[in-house]
Amino acid sequence: MHFPGAHIISVSQFERSDVERIFDVASAMRPYAHRERVTKVLDGAILGNMFFEPSTRTRVSFGCAFNLLGGEVRETTDIKASSLTKGESLYDTGRVMSGYSDIIVMRHPQAGSVAEFSRASRVPVLNAGDGPNEHPSQALLDLYTIKRELMSRQQGIDGMHLAMVGDLKHGRTVHSLSQLVSLYSNIRFTLISPRELRMPEEIVEELRQRGHEVVETEDMESGLTANDIVYLTRIQEERFANKMEADLYRGRFRLNQAIYTRYCQPNTVIMHPLPRDSRDDANELDNDLNQHPNLAIFRQTDNGVLVRMALFALTLDVADQVDKHARDVNWYTERRF
């Protein structure tokens, strides 16, 4: 795809070469994300960070990524604080807000809403999650993490075995990730979920049409065996009619140290898009795995800043100028990475 000025709405926009281009730029951002260098390549640029649904990691990660490139961030974090509550259309909102920003990141609870907004925007729009539909930047950072984790084991993405566990019906992260992974070759997908929360049929069919093996099961123990990556998701309570309905499935698919040791391969990487639900009745990813070397969930969050920096640099067409506007860090910075 042609990145400069483009909206990033769906993973369906990408070819494999586009994904690799994003990953190359993300890796080049490492000195800046790790506070070894400072760049002002986006000095004077403004990000409109518009989050009409709760978010911590995605919102702060996008803002951090933009700041690290030298830009400024303006945030809208509550739909009740916007004129949408007065009946303003997404079209009008997009038309207006794009006059105040150089690029916009948007999250909204309705599927297709960000695409609708982008049609009125005069600047690039990045989809930070539209209801249960898609979350392209999360899929990119997840796949970037998978690539790096497998590289450390002298493996590649092609031919890998990937298990996805939990609420696969409502989980936009797994929808986007599975479609992005399908750009690669000979993937075996094991989809572990209650029958009522299975991956949408159209996504499963697309994976099979692209030549990948797909196994759907409700048996977590057998599904966990022989995987390179296990990707867990929480029950998406906010997508159910009520808490009582969500509670029917909460806690049914848990991974802890004992289960991992018994069923997973010794080098199986554990991933989760976060937040993980740590309440006693849920706890899909147990705290007893917190110190496990194969737990990659916090490496995922670090990688998210790199990938989002890359998306900003590519869509604003400054990827080849970052180093020209750089200098060394002159404040104390602890080695966090």
SS3 128: strand
> pLDDT band at residue 80, thresholds of 50, 70 and 90?
low
pLDDT over threshold 60, residue 256: yes
CB 7 within 8 A of CB 118: yes
Catalytic, 57? Answer: yes
Catalytic position from the list 59, 135, 250, 272: 135
pLDDT of res. 170: 84
Q: State mean pLDDT over 60-88.
A: 83
The percent of residues in the chain predicted with pLDDT above 70, rounded, is 92
> pLDDT band at residue 82, thresholds of 50, 70 and 90?
low
CB 22 within 8 A of CB 314: yes
Q: Which of 269, 28, 263 is nearest to 150 (CA)?
A: 269
Task: Report residue 287 as tokens.
Answer: 């705290």
Task: Report residue 262 as tokens.
Answer: 């018994």
Q: 225-236 pLDDT, tens per residue?
A: 999 999 998 776
Catalytic, 315? Answer: no
Q: State mean pLDDT over 314-331.
A: 96
CB 14 within 8 A of CB 138: no
CA dist., res. 277 & res. 191, Å (int):
20
pLDDT of res. 251: 60
Catalytic position from the list 21, 30, 40, 57: 57
Q: 9-49 pLDDT, tens per residue?
A: 999 999 999 999 999 999 999 999 999 999 999 999 999 99
Catalytic, 86? Answer: yes
pLDDT over threshold 80, residue 326: yes
> pLDDT band at residue 54, thresholds of 50, 70 and 90?
confident
Q: 281-309 pLDDT, tens per residue?
A: 666 889 999 999 999 999 999 999 999 99
Catalytic position from the list 39, 58, 145, 233: 58
pLDDT of res. 272: 95
> pLDDT band at residue 96, thresholds of 50, 70 and 90?
very high
Lowest-confidence region among 42-46, 64-68, 248-252: 248-252
Burial of residue 15 (CB within 10 Å: 0-12, 13-18, 19+) is exposed
pLDDT over threshold 60, residue 249: no
Catalytic position from the list 86, 279, 335, 336: 86
Read off the pTM.
Answer: 0.93
CB 9 within 8 A of CB 136: yes
> pLDDT band at residue 240, thresholds of 50, 70 and 90?
low
CA distances from 227 to 59, 222, 231, 273 (A): 31, 11, 10, 18
Q: Note the helical H segments in the chain.
A: 16-28, 30-33, 57-68, 90-97, 113-118, 136-151, 172-181, 201-209, 220-224, 243-247, 257-263, 297-315
SS3 49: strand
Q: State the helix-helix crossing angle for 16-28 and 136-151, rounded to 10 degrees.
A: 70
Catalytic position from the list 7, 59, 107, 234: 107
CA dist., res. 236 & res. 247, Å (int):
10
CA distances from 229 to 17, 135, 162, 316 (A): 23, 19, 5, 33
SS3 141: helix
CA dist., res. 271 & res. 166, Å (int):
12
Q: What is the DSSP letter of 198?
A: P
